Amino acid sequence: MPRTGAQYLEDVEDGRSVYLNGTRLNTVTRHKAFGGAARSIARLYDFQCAPENIERMTFASPDTGDQVSRMWQLPRNHAELVARREALVASAETHFGFMGRSPEHVASTIAGFRMGSGVYEEHGRERAQAVRDYYAFARDRDLYLSYVIIDPQGDRSKTRSEGGNADLTVSVCDEDGDGLTLRGAKMLGTGAVLSDEILVSTLRPMKAGEERWAFTAMLPMNASGLKILSRRSYEESASSEFDYPLSSHYDENDALIYFDEVRVPWERVFVNQDVRTQFAQWHGTPAHSYQNYQAEVRLMVKLRFLVGLARRIAETIGTIAFPQVVETLGRLSSQLQVIEAFVIAMEAKGWRYGEYWLPDRELLYASQVQSQALYPQIVHTIRELAGGGVIMVPSSVEDFADPELATLIGRTQYSPATDSTGRVKLFKLAWDAIGSEFGSRHTQYEMFYSGPTVVTTGMAYRNFDWDRATGLVDRCLAGYDPPKPPGASGSVRNGRGST
């Protein structure tokens, strides 16, 4: 039987140190800042346990034979990759794609490390074994993992050890026979408040001399000294489900993590102060591309939701038949399908990595660059379609309880497509998706979760098959002659591109 929602909710109440609004909390799943999001994660676990979903959502652990989430699956062929994607889609549909770091994301990272565990061998056989053992441990418990792999901003013009940056980013401050001790901070643990464990690592390359920052380890969220400094909770300030239907359920939270002399045992250390392996584990294994493939699958679901929202808005305010609106909706739907086409193409054009079949990386990084640019454009388009409709709504659900106000709402919230309550409900949902503090954070998330554009475009640049593109140009150039010097005989060949 896969892990249930109730088991997850029980496990997360482990005494972790979460700080919010000046207080250390003594519960997360029952707190008004996180309870709704915790129940959404629990629903995910229950969804995969439901008899009608088990086959689609789980597979048999090769070690125990028990059913575990497909998020841990290491696909051996195209069909298994597609079956896993179908599970990822079904899972994302439970939260409409609004939980960016739902359990499938970092599970994909760890699965990528596992598939490429040979990369760690040169660094140390024990470290490679720690990766394999941890993968099996997390898979067989269906753990919800989060990660922090980016240094806190500090001063980006300086190196890790210069000026105010020194001692800001988490580093190894001690090592003994039992393991490592870590001190410092890392951003930005989305889902960390609600996850079982966290991966702490660094994605960006490091230089020789930066060894003390070059480590990768797994920690339970209740590790002694691990402090979870939560941002403001949008769920807590969501006055009701009706007014904030997304904030109240899917605010997965983001937190700065501070490691205050945190001890990590050796069996949870994947990399110890080794700049080469630290970087190689991301790009010399499928980890980075496999985790970001999951992100594109999730985004596809979210964009489908937003495109559906756009259509409902146009129907509700009676603009649906205007030619310009039809044009806008056609463009929006095609933007979603660009991402869907990328996902399907990544799988079809996949590549063999040992015994595994993985999504194509050239297309993945192209897709990320497009997604990052598309998301704010799509939000902007929905704002254009909605006009003042998202603002012309009653202050809160409480207005409906007052008979006089309820009558006025009935008179003023006219729509050709629905009744007054339906109109208010739709626009409250639309605002929460694109304009509320929650909605606005989502734009920031989609613009940055995979790195700033300087990083994502760099990945697209490095993974693109330039030889094939420039080869075409060179073949064209070679097909005709340069101008002859004055006095030379003969004419310019007109054989452009001929072979």
- Binding stretches for ligand FAD (CB under 6 A): 101, 147-150, 153, 156, 187-190, 254, 441, 444-445, 448-449, 451-454
Least distance from ligand FAD to the Cβ atom of residue 243, Å: 22
For the record, the structure tokens of 248 come out as: 């109240």
Least distance from ligand FAD to the Cβ atom of residue 215, Å: 15
Closer CB to ligand FAD, residue 144 or residue 356? 144
Closer CB to ligand FAD, residue 95 or residue 101? 101
Least distance from ligand FAD to the Cβ atom of residue 448, Å: 4
Least distance from ligand FAD to the Cβ atom of residue 45, Å: 20
Other C-beta atoms lying within 10 Å of the C-beta of residue 30? 12
> Cα separation of 488 and 130, whole Å?
72
Closer CB to ligand FAD, residue 239 or residue 444? 444
Closer CB to ligand FAD, residue 153 or residue 334? 153
Q: Write the burial class of residue 472 (CB in 10 Å: 0-12 exposed, 13-18 middle, 19+ buried).
A: exposed
Least distance from ligand FAD to the Cβ atom of residue 442, Å: 8
Q: Could you tell me which of 239, 270, 20 has the C-alpha nearest to residue 135?
A: 270
In total, the chain counts a number of residues equal to 499
Closer CB to ligand FAD, residue 61 or residue 443? 443
Least distance from ligand FAD to the Cβ atom of residue 468, Å: 28
Closer CB to ligand FAD, residue 175 or residue 437? 437
Least distance from ligand FAD to the Cβ atom of residue 251, Å: 11
Closer CB to ligand FAD, residue 262 or residue 329? 262
Closer CB to ligand FAD, residue 190 or residue 278? 190
Least distance from ligand FAD to the Cβ atom of residue 65, Å: 33
